[in-house]
Amino acid sequence: MKSAFIFLTVCILTFHADAQKSPFHYPTYKGLVMAGYQGWFNTSTDGADRGWHHYQRRGTFAPGSCEIDLWPDMREYKKQYATPFRYADSSVANVFSPYDKSTVDLHFKWMKDYGIDGVFMQRFVGEIRNPSGQRHFNTVLKNAMAAAKRNDRAICIMYDLSGMRPGEEQLLLHDIDTLAATYGLLEKDGKTSPTYLHHNGKPLVTVWGVGFNDNRQYGFTEAATIVAGLKQRGFSVMLGVPTYWREFGSDALHDQALHDILKQVDIVAPWLVGRYDQTAYPDFHPTIEKDIQWCKANKVDYVPLAFPGFSWRNMNGPNAHTIARNKGAFFWQQVAGAKAAGAEMLYIAMFDEMNEGTSIFKCATTSQLPLHPGGVFVGIEDELGSDYYLWLAGQAARWFHGKPGYSAQQPKR
């Protein structure tokens, strides 16, 4: 036990020493807890001209028709947008838009306040092919890069390939060239973007959506072109893959090409959202342990995922699949499970994903929800407070930073 403690201490000291030598504030993903940041919401009057994007369902955002299951706690937002929703006292319920700089500033301030290391900025290939989508995500990224620098939070670009068509791998590579030039991602001195996340000595770019068996138009040929192109440009690569990537299970294509491409990247990141609940997680946990063993054998790093709960009933109907949060017990079970399996870093899904009910940012508590006849909103328990999952994610980050006093027992606030 003593030797293990000494080894851990040396690792932590080495990590901090390496961080001090690097001009980049986040020279490695190891030891960090990062979240995904969708940034895809728009309102009808935010200036993006995209309507109630990702708020509306089938063209309508009003009681009985919306796509979000959680409602944001709006008390700290500078810019707010009125909606057709009302509270029990008849007052108007407002929402936000990340198209606004002040909104993204607030989100990154929360990351700093609660100790979350940073976020992966989602960039959807199916969106940036169009002028309006590209303008929106360029604006959100610009807001986020500035906020990350100001709040000293790690930031990383994540390309989501969902909806990508064959040939658009070149669109992605052209896009990263533009972003690299705009934000100095390949600069050696880190002056332009000092908090951009690096790994294995290079700026990290994530590519999500390779190997899924859900009839995507693109395949391993396009994915290999993207990975090779990023590597040639001087980036390290994290690849987002199906849950059962290693054994070619239920959500993965049964093709050796998946393993071949994974051996070329720097980090393997499986998508675990919705695959288990608190009861089923113990049976799933050995999958993470075996994933880590495979990655070590093939000299690739591995990042497991933790999510607080799941709900998409407004999107898919009142009987749609849900996973209870259980007051944070489910989330902490996954954090502890990742640590027990030997994980060195963690991905949280998601920071702001209200559509599938995985948000960790400040969401309305049960007594503060708008009225929604014909639909349902999921509230955070009043006794926990709207910021509880930010706080709990911050505790996870402290544990991954090497702070003592954490265990499988859920911390008390």
What's the sign of the alpha-carbon dihedral 267, 270, 273, 276? negative
| Amino acid 146: pLDDT | 98
**HSE of 124 in the Cβ direction (CA atoms, 13 Å)?**
17
Q: Is 317 helix (H, G, I), strand (E, B) or coil?
A: coil
| Amino acid 20: pLDDT | 53
C-alpha to C-alpha distance for 220 and 252, rounded to whole angstroms: 12
Bridge partners (DSSP) listed for residue 198: 203
Cβ atoms 222, 164 nearer than 8 A: yes
Buried b (16+ CB within 10 A) or exposed e, 276-306: bbbeebeeebebbeebbebbeeeebbbbbbb
C-alpha to C-alpha distance for 77 and 107, rounded to whole angstroms: 9
pTM of the model: 0.94
C-alpha to C-alpha distance for 212 and 6, rounded to whole angstroms: 41
| Amino acid 205: pLDDT | 99
Residue type, 101: K
Cα–Cα distance list, 8 to 105, 336, 367 (Å): 35, 17, 44
C-alpha to C-alpha distance for 387 and 109, rounded to whole angstroms: 13
DSSP letters, 190-240, are -SS-TTB-EETTEEEEEEE--SB-S--S--HHHHHHHHHHHHHHT-EEEEE
Rg for the chain (alpha carbons), in Å?
A: 21
C-alpha to C-alpha distance for 367 and 378, rounded to whole angstroms: 11
| Per-position pLDDT tens, the chain of length 413 | 444 444 444 444 444 444 457 899 999 999 999 999 999 999 999 999 999 999 999 999 999 999 999 999 999 999 999 999 999 999 999 999 999 999 999 999 999 999 999 999 999 999 999 999 999 999 999 999 999 999 999 999 999 999 999 999 999 999 999 999 999 999 999 999 999 999 999 999 999 999 999 999 999 999 999 999 999 999 999 999 999 999 999 999 999 999 999 999 999 999 999 999 999 999 999 999 999 999 999 999 999 999 999 999 999 998 999 999 999 999 999 999 999 999 999 999 999 999 999 999 999 999 999 999 999 999 999 999 999 999 999 999 999 999 999 999 999 99
| Amino acid 281: pLDDT | 98
Angle, CA 177 vertex, CA 172 and CA 180 arms, to 5°: 120
Q: Is 321 helix (H, G, I), strand (E, B) or coil?
A: coil
Closest CA to 87 of 367, 349, 379: 367
| Amino acid 98: pLDDT | 98
Q: How many CB atoms lie within 10 A of CB 108?
A: 25
The H or E element spanning position 302 is: strand 301-302
Cα dihedral 350/353/359/361 (nearest 10): 90
